[in-house]
Amino acid sequence: MVSLANPTRFLSLVDRMVPWLAAVTLILLGIGLYLAFFVAPPDYQQGETVKIMFIHVPAAWLGMFGYVLIAVAALGTLIWRHPLADVAAKTAGPIGATFTFVALVTGSLWGKPMWGTYWVWDARLTSVLVLFLLYLGLLALWQAIEEPGRAGRAAAILALVGAVNVPIIHYSVVWWNTLHQPASVFRVGGPSIDPSLLAPLLVMALAFTLLFILLHLISMRAEILRRRVRALQQTQVERAALVEV
Amino acid sequence: MPDLGQHAVFILAAYGATFVAVAALAFFIVEDDRKQRRLLADLERRGIRRRSAGPSAKPKASTGRQRGS
């Protein structure tokens, strides 16, 4: 595990993992979509709109997962100052933001036929919107500061401050009266969803999670290479300046 | 395609939006990865490589500083 902290060994592992991970992800996505559209029955209350759950719920989970990953990596940046921690945090930002965006859009499209409105300022929806805004803030911060080390430390502080929002999202349906339904998978007493709907949901969740990991690994590889290119270009400029002197 | 009922437009819009967002994300990530590999390979072809990357080392495995051109 410690050897993976070496960027070169990490790159070698990513090169070996990506094709296999891509294949497994595509197969699982195919199985998940088949189960969602051809096997899962309509819900007794929500009818066919329950199919939106198979993408909305995994996207929401991964939106939060991405932020937790950034917060843990932020600790690695601030405490151990490890460059891979900063790379992991920075590259998880766009992926987590995209999944949070998907959760907001699909939730809105699910809300209209079920609640009669695309949006309501209740605790769950608002806290997820805050999560999306936190992602945008982090992305802006990484873009605004050119030197990766400084950008990483500044973003790490913001990420840790914003991490307080994650438990608020999770418990918002418990702490406040919301239009959003309470947790129905990860709850005391086990899932309350019928197995015929739970199975496609879990397959899609696993497929989305593998997709997140796959995109994150490729993005981390690109970021490590970007920093190497930047370092080589800087060295080249410095050498050129020395020759001129 | 199974019958999606009276709310089919919402279901299809949700899946469509998800596909577009995730496909765009994947496209940008893969293109960025290719671009960085190309840039690094160009630098190394010009003899600009990190110290620990010997002449026979693969571009991705280079870890040292510039070796001089």
pLDDT 10s digits, A52-104:
999 999 999 999 999 999 999 999 999 988 878 999 999 999 999 999 999 99
Interface residue of B6, B20, B29 to substitute, partner A, most A CBs within 10 Å: B29
How many secondary structure helices (H) and strands (E) does chain A include?
7, 0
Instruction: Please enumerate in sequence order all residues whose Cβ is within 8 A of that of A235, keeping only pairs 6 or more positions apart, or say none.
Output: B48, B65, B66
Instruction: Please enumerate in sequence order all residues whose Cβ is within 8 A of that of A172, keeping only pairs 6 or more positions apart, or say none.
Output: A123, A124, A127, A178, A180
Percentage of chain A lying above the pLDDT 90 cut? 63
> Rounded to an integer, what distance in angstroms lies between the CA atom of residue A180 and that of residue A176?
10
Answer whether residue B61 shows pLDDT above 50.
no
Whether A231 sits inside 8 A of B50 (CB atoms) is yes
Q: Band of the pLDDT at B56, cuts 50, 70, 90?
A: very low
> Rounded to an integer, what distance in angstroms lies between the CA atom of residue A106 and that of residue A118?
10
A-contacting residues of B 28-47, CB under 8 Å?
Answer: 28-30, 32-33, 35-37, 39-40, 43
> Rounded to an integer, what distance in angstroms lies between the CA atom of residue A225 and that of residue A219?
10
> Rounded to an integer, what distance in angstroms lies between the CA atom of residue A236 and that of residue B65?
10
- For the domain bounded by A17-182+193-244, which CATH number is listed? 1.20.120
Quote the tokens at residue A183: 């947790």
Answer whether residue B62 shows pLDDT above 70.
no
Instruction: Answer yes or no: are the C-beta atoms of A28 and A241 closer than 8 Å.
Output: no
Nearest CA in chain A to B48: A232
The pLDDT of B59-66, averaged and rounded, is 40
Answer whether residue B63 shows pLDDT above 50.
no
pLDDT value, residue A79 = 92
The pLDDT of B40-64, averaged and rounded, is 64
Instruction: Answer yes or no: are the C-beta atoms of A135 and A97 closer than 8 Å.
Output: yes
> Rounded to an integer, what distance in angstroms lies between the CA atom of residue A106 and that of residue A60?
10
The pLDDT of B47-58, averaged and rounded, is 60
B-contacting residues of A 122-151, CB under 8 Å?
Answer: none
CA proximity to B41, closest of A90, B33, A10: B33
pTM given for the model = 0.88
Partner residue opposite A38 with nearest CB, options B2, B14, B22: B2
In chain A, where the domains are located = 17-182+193-244
Whether A232 sits inside 8 A of B33 (CB atoms) is no
If 0-12 CB within 10 Å is exposed, 13-18 middle and 19+ buried, where does residue B31 land? exposed
Whether B25 sits inside 8 A of A109 (CB atoms) is no
Answer whether residue B44 shows pLDDT above 80.
yes
The pLDDT of B34-55, averaged and rounded, is 81
Q: Is A100 on the interface with B (CB under 8 A)?
A: no
Answer whether residue A234 shows pLDDT above 60.
yes
User: In DSSP terms, which residues pair with A148 in a beta bridge?
Assistant: none
Whether B2 sits inside 8 A of A239 (CB atoms) is no
Answer whether residue A186 shows pLDDT above 80.
no
Interface residue of A43, A216, A225, A230 to substitute, partner B, most B CBs within 10 Å: A225
The pLDDT of B5-23, averaged and rounded, is 95
> Rounded to an integer, what distance in angstroms lies between the CA atom of residue A225 and that of residue A27?
29
Interface residue of B11, B46, B49, B67 to substitute, partner A, most A CBs within 10 Å: B11
Q: Band of the pLDDT at B69, cuts 50, 70, 90?
A: very low
Q: Band of the pLDDT at B59, cuts 50, 70, 90?
A: very low
CA proximity to A212, closest of A41, A25, A68, A7: A25
The pLDDT of A162-175, averaged and rounded, is 85
**Between residues A222 and A5, the one the model is more confident about:** A222
Answer whether residue A132 shows pLDDT above 60.
yes
Q: Which residues of chain A lie closer than 8 angstroms to B17, CB-CB?
A: 102, 105-106, 109
Query: Which of A18-32, A156-170, A214-228 comes out lowest in average pLDDT?
Result: A156-170
Instruction: Please enumerate in sequence order all residues whose Cβ is within 8 A of that of B14, keeping only pairs 6 or more positions apart, or say none.
Output: A52, A55, A56, A105, A106, A109, A110
DSSP string for chain B:
----GGGHHHHHHHHHHHHHHHHHHHHHHHHHHHHHHHHHHHHHHTT---TT--TTS-GGG--S-----
Q: Band of the pLDDT at A172, cuts 50, 70, 90?
A: confident
Q: Is A215 on the interface with B (CB under 8 A)?
A: yes
Q: Band of the pLDDT at B64, cuts 50, 70, 90?
A: very low
